[in-house]
Amino acid sequence: MNSSASRHDSLSAAIDMLQGRDLIEEDALCLNVRGRGEHCHQCTTVCQNDALTVSVDAIEVNREACTGCGACVPACPAGALRLRGFSPERFLAILDGEAEVHLHCTESRGSGGGVVISCFKALDVRLLAAARATGVEAILLHGLEHCAGCSRGGALSYVARLCLQLEEWLTPPTLALRPATDPAAGKRRLRERADQPRLSRRSFLRFAGAQAAEAMARTWQVAIDNEEDDIDLPFFQDDVESVRQPHPYQRLLAEHVARLPWRDTLPLPWKIRSLGEHCIACLACGQRCPTGALLADEKAEALSISFDPALCTDCGLCETLCPVDAVQTRPVREVAEVSEPRSVIMMRRQVNCDRCGTPFLPEADQTTCPICINEQELDEEWLSMLGG
Q: What does the DSSP assignment read for 212-228? A: HHHHHHHHH------TT
Whether residue 137 is contained in a domain is answered as yes
**What pairs with residue 328 in β-bridges?**
274
* pLDDT for position 178: 92
Asked, for residue 5, whether it belongs to a domain, the answer is no
State residue 222's pLDDT score: 45
pTM attached to this predicted model: 0.78
CB 157 within 8 A of CB 69: no
The CA distance from 262 to 331, in Å, is 14
Q: Which domain holds residue 336?
A: 267-349
Residue type, 242: S
Q: Is residue 94 part of a domain?
A: yes
In a domain, 9, yes or no: no
Quick one: pLDDT at residue 287?
95
Cβ-based neighbours of 368, under 8 Å, separated by 6 or more: 353, 354, 355, 376
Residue 318 · residue 289 · CB < 8 Å = yes
Q: Indicate whether 316 belongs to any domain.
A: yes
DSSP, residue by residue, 17-83: HHTT-SEEE-GGG-HHHHHTS----HHHHH-TT--EEE-SS-EEE-TTT-----THHHH-TT--EEE
Spatial contact of 351 and 360, defined as CB atoms under 8 Å apart: yes
Quote the number of domains for the chain: 4
Same domain, 205 and 294: no
The answer to whether position 181 is within a domain reads yes
Residue 89 shares a structural domain with residue 206: yes
pLDDT of the residue at 29 = 95
Regarding whether 318 and 356 lie in a shared domain, the answer is: no
pLDDT of residue 195: 53
Q: Looking at the structure, do residues 33 and 63 belong to the same domain, yes or no?
A: yes
Residues 301, 157 share a domain? no
Q: With a cut of 50, which residues of the chain have pLDDT below it?
A: 1-9, 13, 15-20, 186-188, 190, 216-230
Q: Which of these three, 319, 334, 349, is where a domain ends?
A: 349
95 shares its domain with 149? yes
Residue 210: predicted pLDDT: 53
CATH code for position 38 = 3.30.70.20
Please indicate, yes or no, whether residues 100 and 199 belong to a single structural domain of this protein. Answer: yes
The verdict on 162 and 297 lying in the same domain is no
Same domain, 207 and 281: no
Task: Indicate the residue among 57, 83, 109 that finishes a domain.
Answer: 83
Q: Indicate whether 227 belongs to any domain.
A: no
- Closest residue by Cα to residue 355 from 363, 367, 343: 367
Dihedral sign for Cα atoms in the order 128, 131, 135, 140: negative
Give yes or no: residues 41 and 117 share one domain.
no
- With b for 16 or more beta-carbon neighbours within 10 A and e for fewer, the 65-90 pattern comes to ebbbbbbbbbbbbbbbbbbbbbbbee
Q: Which amino acid is at 89?
A: E
How many beta carbons lie within 10 A of that of residue 290, not counting itself? 29
Q: Do 193 and 248 lie in a common domain?
A: yes
Residues comprising the chain, all counted:
388
Claim to verify: residue 151 and residue 189 sit in the same structural domain:
yes
